[in-house]
Structure 1
Amino acid sequence: MATPASSGLKFLSNALATPEQLSTSSSSIDGVTPDLEASIRFAGALLTQAAGVLLRLSQDIIAQAIVTFTRFWIGAEGGSLRIYNVKDVSAASLYLTAKLSFQPTSPRSVLNVYGFLLSKQASPLWCINPDPYLESSSSSSTSSEHPPPNPETYILTEGEYQTRRAVLMRTEAIVLRTLGFNTHVALPHTISLTYLQTLGVAAPGVARRVFGHLNAALLSPQLLYVTHQPNALAVAAIYLAAREEGVKLVGSEWWEVFDVDREELGFLVVAMRSMEGFAERELRVWKGKGVPMTVEEVEEEIERRRKGVEEEVNGG
C-alpha cells in the first residue's frame, strides 16, 4: 500500500491501496467473482462489528478492526477467500486490534462470541442465520414454534476452545505478515468533530448523522477507508449530514479548507449515500441462505453458480 506523503501526518493518515491492488485481488485471481467477493467482505465486516459490540469494545477499536480485516483481502499479495476462512480473519483482526489497544480481550471471550454469532441456529445476523430466532420470537403466536436456540449449538467445549484458539493465534500471525506488520489505522471520527467545531456547527443531530455515515462507510463495497484519507471521509460525512439535517454551512467550497477537492467530495458523498441501497440489495440477494464464511462454503457457492450458468446455457 502507498504510504502517506508526509511522515509528520503519520497519525492522521493511512497507507492507501494502490490502483493495481484495487483492480486485482488474490481472490479474483483464484476465480472469485467481484460480486461474491464484495458480498463476503460485507458480511465479514458485519460479523466483526457485531462481535465487537458483544465484546463491549469501543467503536474506534471495532472500526480499526474492520479496516484491518478489509486490508487483508486487498491486492494480489493479500489473502484469498479460497484459502482463508472469513470468520477466522474477522476474529483475528478484532483480537489483534483489541490487544494493541487500551481494551484487550481474551481469546476465550473472542471465541465464545464468535461461536454464538456463527451458529446457524442462534446467530441474530441475517448473513449467518437466514431465519433469526430473535425476529420470529417477537410474535407471541410464533414463539412456541421458534423457541430460543439450544446453548449447545454455540457454547464451546474445552476441546473446541483449544482447537479454535490455535487457529486464532495462527490466523493472527498470518494477518500481521500479510499487512507487513503495519497495524496503524487513522480514523475520521475525531477529526470530524474538530471540523464541526471549526465550522461552528453545534447541532447534535448533525454529529449523530456524521458518525452514522462514517460507521456505515466501513462496510462500503468501494472500500472507502482504504482508498481515501480520514480528512476526506470526515468532510464528506459532514457535507451529507448537514444537508440531511437542513443545516447551512458557512462559506462556499468550505471543504477546500480541509484539503478536499470537489471531485473527491462528490465521489464520497455518492458512495456514502449508496450504502443503504447496497445493504438492501445484499439482503435480497442472500434471502433464505447464509453468506459463505468458510473456504468450504465459498467453494460450494462457486460450484452452485457454475451449475446455474450451465443449466441456463443448456436450457437456452
Structure 2
Amino acid sequence: MLPAGGRMRRKAQTSRARTGKARKRKAPAGYSRAEVPSLPLKGYTLPAVDLERGASGTGVRQLQTALVKLGHMTQAQMDTGPGTFGARTEGSLKKFQEAHGVDAIGVYGPKTRAAFKALGATLGDEETPPTPMPPVLRTKIVTEGLWGASHRDQIHYAQIRPIDGLQLRHKLPLDIDCSGFVTLCYKWAGAPDPNGNRYSGAGYTGTLEAHMLHIPLSQVQPGDLCLWQGKHVSLVIQVGEDPLLISHGSESGPYEVRTSAQKKWYPAGTRLIWLTSPLGAKAGARRTLSREDKARGDPPAEEGLL
C-alpha cells in the first residue's frame, strides 16, 4: 500500500494522463500561449534607466531593437535614427504599452521595463548618474553669455582657431564663431571644456555634439546648449517651452533670441539637439571625430544667420 503522499501524486499523474492536459506556463500580457511558445526577448538586454523622447545612445538602440523584434517598429523606421529616441520610437513604444496594459505615454519607465522583463528581457546595470552642474556654475555661464550680448558691437563673427579669447577673460575686440562663443562662456565661468579638448583652442559644433550629453527639452537648464545639427549652437539662458537663447551666428551677434524664432532659419527637418555637460560625466562620443575635425571651425552654413 502506497503512503498517502504517493497516492496523491499518482492520482494527479493519472488525472493528467486521462485528460491529456498538463500545467502550462502563463503567457506574458498581450500574448496567448499559442502566440508565444517561448519568451520572445529571452537573451535580450534592455537599459535599467528611464528614457524618453530626446534621449540617445546605446540604451535607446537596445529599446528600438526590442521593439523591432516584437513587431511594434520596423527596421526601416529604426534605421532613420538608430540610437535616437524620436517620434517614431515614441510612437512604437506607445503601441507596445497599449498591447501590454501600460499607460501609453511613450516613456520608458519602471512599468514598461517590467512588461519587457515578462517577455524574457533582462535589464543592464544601473548607470551611476553624473554629478549635476551646480546652479552657481550655470549662473556664471549665463552671466558670461549676457556679457557677450552687451558687448556685441565689439564681438565680430569669424571662424578662427585657436579660439580667440581663451587666455584673456572679456577680451575685446573678439573674433569668434558660435561654438567658440559658447566655449568661451564655459571657460570664463570656470566650467570644463564642453568640447572635451581641455581648452586646447580646438573645437566646433561637431565636438560639442560628440562630447556633451544629449537630453530632452524637459531636462534643459540655463547654461545648457541648443544645437541645430550641422548648423549652429546657442547658449540657453532661460528655460520653458520656448527657451531663450544667446546666439552668435553672424556679425550681428551675440544677441538674445527665442528657439522658435531661430527654428525659422533652418530647413524643415533640421534636427534640434539639447546638450548638457554635467561635472564628472563620462560622455561617450556619439560619432568618431578625426583629428582634423576636432581642430576645425563651424560650418559656413551658420554665416547666413541674421
TM-score (norm 1): 0.21
Task: Find the structure with the greater CA-based Rg.
Answer: 2
Give the helix-richer structure, 1 or 2: 1
Larger RCO, structures 1/2 (Cα 8 Å, 6+ apart): 1
